[in-house]
């Protein structure tokens, strides 16, 4: 437990009770006070009546990863009292609805009872209001306890309900009931409290799915086809919202189409059909959807059709843990479909990068004429993150890749071949249906074909085409976003390779390790195929920890086979319990390996000697 502007609050609720909104008011208020916050919604796979949690870490230092241990627990769900109480750190606080008082059996924590139900029963008549405003009451109480300026919350409530005055009033009433109660009954503020800061000034709060949906708008995507599945649903929904906001023509009609397909097979097929026909098109899904899409992904690979797929990963395998996070579809996506296939993957680390990579993905898909899969996850996609504001460079050109329009077709001297490698980069030129009355028509198919797109059963011709696809994949290496490298110590022989939403956890882990005297360098992968930087980084280190949120070390396997890194060098650090990673986990795993694994210890000695 820490002190000012640095602690963790957790809310234990029942879902469907309206808590999510109230809890987000709380997080938003802290953010408005200039504090980096990282709200994590831990929700069940149902609609109403089951336990749900909302964790908010406040960290002026900007650590946005989860931190284990709860400083203030708002325990609103008697069903989970036992486990909730246990999570509170020694010296921490437990807030509960003391309308029915009870004991929690821990002397080392401070229990603050607030008779929330009773307060609501006095204040509201409508039984639904009594229920709903309990959430706002505890937010009010918390405001008093941790010292949030009440006007900040009032403003947030006002913005929410501006069109509905009666609700605004009721919310404010509830807020003050809680505030007044805490100010009156407890010594406010607690040692765990907040103070206005400028650590988050200028930043924004947004979820990855929201940002990715917006990124698709900015990328000029016009066709989205999807099938509902947690945690990707809100990405397609965001795209549709922004489409309605930014893309309505003079007649009130949309510059874009969104189709809720009958299933994932259709969803990706629609996107591929649109991509073939010259629209930027995408689908968004999650694990089971990827499995269902894999036949079509293979077609798009082989017929060379641009399409963008967002895989907002959740806990696998099978239906798995639909409301928990994992990075466990790496292999399934890198090699989706039967036969020899390889796909371009992008790994955003936060909502801002979701926005950027969404935009990037369409350029890549069209340049490379192949599926590009953006590997987000539940934590990035559905949680709200504090990030730098989104940026768009108006001078940026959308790169549509090698498309021959009517003029270019007219100007062509040599015979055009849809699958001919004229430039040596493995990327052929394509044409869009309807372009030219006589030139450029070709026949697209998933069966083996010649350079001129005719059907062939000549195995050597086909093998040559397959080899060109490999060449194209090699070209991709230099086109995809390069990794970012966090070089903390030139002499260190220990490194970390990681990717995606664990960025904050790894960075905090690095800090913790450095505090304990271990300095490691880190490389964050941003794409597959791997840029040569990755192998170089590995070569520069004796031992490299590969941090990933899956059971099988899937990225590590890819690094071994695709970046050619020796297996012994790569030490897996695996987490697959479905929760966002914490810095302590990273540091802990690495430190214990250093202390127990002689090779790692040797590498460490080498680093030290080098200093």
Partner 1 sequence: MTYMQKPKIRHPRLKKNDLGLTRRDYEGVLSTLCAGCGHDSVTAAIIEACFELQLPAHRLAKLSGIGCSSKTTAYFLSQAHGFNSLHGRMPAIATGANLANRDLIYLGVSGDGDTASIGLNQFCHAVRRRLNMVYIVENNGTYGLTKGQFSATNDKNSKSKKGGNNLFEAMDLCALAIQLKAGFVARGFSGDKAQLVPLIKSAMRYRGFALLDIISPCVTFNNHAASTKSYDYIRDHSEAVDKLDFVPAQEEITANYDEGQTVNVTMHDGSSMRLHKLETDYDPRNADEALMHIRKRYAEGEVVTGLLYVDQEEEDLHSLIETTERPLNELSMDELCPGSQPLEELNNTLR
Binding site for a second copy (CB under 8 A): 44-45, 287-288, 290-292, 294-295, 298-299, 301-303, 315-324, 326, 328-329, 331-332, 335, 337-342, 445-448, 457, 459-460, 462-463, 466-467, 470, 550-552, 554, 557, 560-561, 564, 566-567, 576-579
Rounded to whole angstroms, how far apart are CA atoms 395 and 449?
39
- Burial of 440: CB neighbours in 10 Å, binned 0-12, 13-18, 19+: buried
Residue nearest to ligand SF4 (CB): 47
The nearest distance, CB 288 to ligand TPP, in angstroms, is 4
Question: Applying CB under 6 A, does 48 fall inside the site for ligand SF4?
Answer: yes
Site string for partner 1, 335-374 (x = CB under 8 A): ----------------------------------------
CA nearest 549: which of 592, 607, 505?
505
Nearer residue to a second copy within complex by CB, 255 or 463: 463
Q: Are 481 and 360 in contact (CB under 8 A)?
A: yes
Determine the angle formed by the axes of helices 19-32 and 134-146, rounding to 10 degrees. Answer: 30
Measured from the CB atom, is 460 or 611 closer to a second copy? 460
- HSE-CB of 439 using CA atoms within 13 angstroms: 15
Tell me how far apart the alpha carbons of residues 11 and 19 are, in angstroms, rounded to a whole number: 9
Which residues within the stretch 198-227 sit at the binding site for partner 1 (CB under 8 A)? 203-206, 214, 217-223, 225, 227
- Of 123, 265, 535, 606, the one binding partner 1 (CB under 8 A) is 265
Nearer to a second copy, 338 or 397 (CB): 338
Preceding omega of 317 cis (within 30 degrees of 0): yes
Determine, following the binding rule CB under 6 A, whether residue 201 of this chain makes contact with ligand SF4: no
Tell me whether residue 166 or residue 609 sits nearer to partner 1 (CB atom).
166
**What DSSP string describes 191-219?**
SS-----STTTT-EEEEHHHHHHHHHHHT
- In the bound state with a second copy, the residue whose beta carbon lies nearer, of 533 and 552, is 552
Partner that binds at residue 391, options a second copy, partner 1, ligand SF4, none, CB closer than 5 to 8 Å by kind: partner 1
Between the alpha carbon of residue 13 and those of residues 23, 83, 191, 513, the distances in Å are 10, 13, 25, 35
181 three-class SS: helix
Q: Per-residue x/- marks for partner 1, 14-43, CB under 8 A?
A: -xxxxxxx--x------xx-----------
Residue 319 lies near partner 1 (rule: CB under 8 A): yes
Residue 24 interacts with which of ligand TPP, partner 1, a second copy, none, CB < 5 to 8 Å by class: partner 1
State the Cα–Cα distance between residues 189 and 142, nearest whole angstrom: 9
Contact positions with ligand SF4 (CB under 6 A) in 219-278: none
Token pair 């077609």 in the structure block, residue: 299
Site for ligand SF4 contains 47 (CB under 6 A): yes
Residue 48 found at the interface with partner 1 (CB under 8 A): yes
Which among 246, 244, 549, 521 is positioned nearest to 376, based on CA atoms?
549
CB of 44 to ligand SF4, least distance (A): 12
Q: Which residue has the tokens 């001297």?
A: 413
Q: Residue 112 or 267: which CB sits closer to ligand TPP?
A: 267
* CA–CA distance, 40 with 57 (Å, rounded to integer): 9
- Which of a second copy, ligand SF4, ligand TPP, none is residue 227 near (CB under 5 to 8 Å by kind)? ligand TPP
Q: How many residues does this entry show for the chain?
A: 611
CA distance 9 to 6: 10
- From residue 14 to residue 43, what is the string marking binding to ligand TPP with x (rule CB under 6 A)? ------------------------------
Residue 446 interacts with ligand TPP (CB under 6 A)? no
Q: Which is nearer to ligand TPP, 38 or 323 (CB)?
A: 323
Query: Contact 182/145 with Cβ under 8 angstroms?
Result: yes
Nearer to a second copy, 304 or 508 (CB): 304
Please count the residues of this chain forming the interface with partner 1, following the rule CB under 8 A: 115
Q: Candidates 431, 475, 521, 593: give the one binding partner 1 (CB under 8 A).
A: 431
Integer Cα distance of 415 and 409 in angstroms: 10
For residue 598, the partner it binds in partner 1, ligand TPP, ligand SF4, none, with Cβ less than 5 to 8 A by kind, is none
Q: Does 296 bind ligand TPP (CB under 6 A)?
A: no
SS3 track for 548-599:
ECCCCCHHHHHHHHHCCCCHHHEEEEECCCCCCCEHHHHHHHHHHHHHHCHH
Is 228 among the residues that bind ligand TPP (CB under 6 A)? yes
529 CB contacts (<8 Å, ≥6 apart)? 342, 344, 473, 474, 476, 477, 480, 562
The angle subtended at Cα 411 by Cα 409 and Cα 412, nearest 5°, is 65
SS3 state at 460 = helix
Name the residue nearer to ligand SF4 (CB basis): 231 or 500: 231
Residue closer to ligand TPP by CB (options 18, 228) is 228
In the complex, the residues that contact ligand SF4 under the rule CB under 6 A are: 47-48
In the complex, the residues that contact ligand TPP under the rule CB under 6 A are: 227-229, 264, 288-289, 292, 319
């Amino acid at each position: 437990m820490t002190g000012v502007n640095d602690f963790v609050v957790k809310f234990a609720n029942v879902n469907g009770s309206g808590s999510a909104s109230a809890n987000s008011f709380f997080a938003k208020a802290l953010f408005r006070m200039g504090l980096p916050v990282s709200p994590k919604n831990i929700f069940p796979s149902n609609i109403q009546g089951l336990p749900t949690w909302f964790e908010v870490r406040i960290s002026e230092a900007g650590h946005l990863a989860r931190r284990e241990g709860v400083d203030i627990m708002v325990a609103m769900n008697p069903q989970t009292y036992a486990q909730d109480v246990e999570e509170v750190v020694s010296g921490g606080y437990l807030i509960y609805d003391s309308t029915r008082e009870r004991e929690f059996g821990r002397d080392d924590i401070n229990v603050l009872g607030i008779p929330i139900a009773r307060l609501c029963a006095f204040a509201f008549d409508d039984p639904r209001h009594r229920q709903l405003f309990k959430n706002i009451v505890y937010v009010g109480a918390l405001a008093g306890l941790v010292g949030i300026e009440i006007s900040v919350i009032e403003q947030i409530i006002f913005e929410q309900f501006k069109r509905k005055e009666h609700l605004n009033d009721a919310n404010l009433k509830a807020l003050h009931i809680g505030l007044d109660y805490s100010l009156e009954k407890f010594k406010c503020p607690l040692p765990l409290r907040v103070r206005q800061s400028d650590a988050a000034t200028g930043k924004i709060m947004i979820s990855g799915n929201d940002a990715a949906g917006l990124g698709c708008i900015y990328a000029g995507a016009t066709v989205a086809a999807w099938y509902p599945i947690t945690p990707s649903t809100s990405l397609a929904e965001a795209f549709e919202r922004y489409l309605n906001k930014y893309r309505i023509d003079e007649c009130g009609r949309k510059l874009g189409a969104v189709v809720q397909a009958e299933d994932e097979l259709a969803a990706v097929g629609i996107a591929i059909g649109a991509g073939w026909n010259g629209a930027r098109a995408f689908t968004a899904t999650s694990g089971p959807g990827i499995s269902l899409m894999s036949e079509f992904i293979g077609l798009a690979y082989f017929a060379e059709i641009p399409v963008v797929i967002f895989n907002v990963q959740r806990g696998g395998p099978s239906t798995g843990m639909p409301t928990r996070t994992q990075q466990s579809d790496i292999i399934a996506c890198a090699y989706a479909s039967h036969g020899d296939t390889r796909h371009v993957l992008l790994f955003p680390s936060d909502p801002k990068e979701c926005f950027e990579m969404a935009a990037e993905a369409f350029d890549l898909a069209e340049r490379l004429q192949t599926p590009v899969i953006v590997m987000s996850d539940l934590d990035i996609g559905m949680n709200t993150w504090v990030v730098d504001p989104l940026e768009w460079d108006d001078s940026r050109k959308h790169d549509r890749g090698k498309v021959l329009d009517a003029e270019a077709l007219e100007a062509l001297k040599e015979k055009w071949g849809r699958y001919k490698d004229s430039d040596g980069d493995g990327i052929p030129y394509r044409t869009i249906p309807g372009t030219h009355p006589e030139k450029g028509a070709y026949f697209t198919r998933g069966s083996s074909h010649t350079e001129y797109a005719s059907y062939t059963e000549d195995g050597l011709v086909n093998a040559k085409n397959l080899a060109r696809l490999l060449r194209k994949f090699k070209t991709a290496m230099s086109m995809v976003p390069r990794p970012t490298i966090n070089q903390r110590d030139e002499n260190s022989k220990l490194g970390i390779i990681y990717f995606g939403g664990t960025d904050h956890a790894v960075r905090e882990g690095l800090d913790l390790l450095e505090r304990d005297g271990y300095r490691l360098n880190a490389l964050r992968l941003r794409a597959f195929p791997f840029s040569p930087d990755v192998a170089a980084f590995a070569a520069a280190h004796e031992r490299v920890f590969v941090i990933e949120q899956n059971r099988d070390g899937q990225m590590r396997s890819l690094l071994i086979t695709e970046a050619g890194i020796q297996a012994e060098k790569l030490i897996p650090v695996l987490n697959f319990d479905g929760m966002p990673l914490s810095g302590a986990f990273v540091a802990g795993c690495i430190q214990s390996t250093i202390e127990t694994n002689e090779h790692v210890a040797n590498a460490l000695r080498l680093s030290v000697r080098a200093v």
